[in-house]
Amino acid sequence: MFPSPDTLYPLVSNMDRTCFLKNIITRSNIIVGDYTYYDDEVDVKNFEKNVLYHYDFLNDKLIIGKFCQIAAGVEFVMNGANHQMNAVTTFPFYTLEGWDMEPPKTSDLPLKGDTVIGNDVWIGQNAVILPGVHIGDGAIIGANSVVGRDINPYTIVVGNPAKILRKRFDDEMIELLLRFKWWDKSTDEINELIPLLTCSELDKVKEEIKKRVN
Ligand SMILES: CC(C)(COP(=O)(O)OP(=O)(O)OC[C@H]1O[C@@H](n2cnc3c(N)ncnc32)[C@H](O)[C@@H]1OP(=O)(O)O)[C@@H](O)C(=O)NCCC(=O)NCCS
């Protein structure tokens, strides 16, 4: 059987708690790669409510790669969340009726740019990703973490503010995996690679990947 990224509910049991995320996205400023899934047993199709303060006029995008695993309650806080901070008050008079204030210049707002999540990133439940953060391929974000800074590939972070717990692999292996980019291969190739990608004998895996990237 061909694993189609266009399946809405890809669990073998077809339960509607897990969906391939790209299939439920309605906003043009959220871009999600194939096979990335979101899990939420209460209301999985309502993922976009977790992408907060995401206003078209600020033009910021949430870009998520392929094969990411996003747990229930994960929130992406976008740039519209941040009030002006370089003046006496942070009160956004311009958004409320009756006050004489023009919208601030965008240069006066603390805009941090797009939020970019790599490929094969696992984000634990209720983690919060703050505006403009870039998370590298293969990173793991612990449950309830608050991520305010960029995270390097294949790094595990936990806590608030999220701090590095450890790297997942040695530097040579990380460099190999970033060249290998298994997520960009065809589904047939990935199916063939599954024993390698899920093998815990990492020395053997490293040697095999070396052969394939050289
Ligand atoms: C991040 C995670 C993968 C780390 O797992 P691990 O490597 O087995 O980590 P350990 O349990 O050995 O913990 C190592 C240390 O990190 C701390 N820690 C682990 N996860 C943490 C978290 N989410 N927040 C804060 N601290 C955490 C532990 O308390 C421990 O601290 P210590 O060294 O001071 O005792 C895991 O803890 C986690 O958060 N998983 C997410 C689960 C989830 O949300 N799943 C959703 C369904 S897919």
Query: pLDDT of 65-75, one tens digit each?
Result: 999 999 999 99
16-34, pLDDT tens digit by residue? Answer: 999 999 999 999 999 999 9
121 CA → ligand 1 middle, Å: 15
Is ligand 1 within 6 A of the CB of residue 125?
A: yes
Closest alpha carbon to 140 in 129, 151, 128: 151
Q: Which ligand 1 atom minimizes the distance to the CA of 156?
A: 1
Tell me the pLDDT band of 14, cut-offs 50, 70 and 90.
confident
Q: Mutate which of 158, 160, 163, 169 to test ligand 1's pocket (most atoms within 8 Å of Cβ)?
A: 158
- 1: pLDDT strictly greater than 80: no
Tell me what pLDDT residue 114 has.
98
Cβ 40 vs Cβ 47: under 8 Å = yes
- Rounded distance, CA 17 to CA 199, Å? 28
Q: What is the mean pLDDT of residues 120-148?
A: 98
Using an 8 Å Cβ cutoff, are 73 and 40 in contact? yes
Mean pLDDT of 6-22: 94
pLDDT, the chain, mean: 96
pLDDT tops 80 at residue 154: yes
Residue 87 has pLDDT above 90, yes or no: yes
Please state the rounded mean pLDDT for residues 97-117.
95
**Residue 214, pLDDT score:** 80
Q: What share of the chain is helix, strand, coil (3-state, %, to 5)?
A: 30, 20, 55
The pLDDT value recorded for residue 175 is 98
Stated pTM of the model: 0.96
Residue with CA nearest ligand 1 atom 31: 165
Share of the chain above pLDDT 90, in %: 96
Q: Is 142's C-beta closer than 6 angstroms to any atom of ligand 1? A: yes
Query: If 0-12 CB within 10 Å is exposed, 13-18 middle and 19+ buried, where does residue 96 land?
Result: exposed
pLDDT score at 50: 98
The catalytic residue positions are: 83
Protein residue closest via CA to atom 27 of ligand 1:
158
Instruction: Report the share of the chain in percent with pLDDT over 70.
Output: 100
**DSSP assignment string, 139-175:** -EE-TT-EE-S-B-TTEEEETTTTEEEEESS-HHHHH
pLDDT (mean) for 147-151:
98
Mean pLDDT of 164-185: 98
Furthest CA-CA distance within the chain:
68
Q: According to the model, what pLDDT value does residue 89 have?
A: 97
Q: Which amino acid is at 77?
A: V
Question: Which two three-digit tokens encode residue 154?
Answer: 């294949």
Q: Read off the pLDDT band of 35 (50, 70, 90).
A: very high
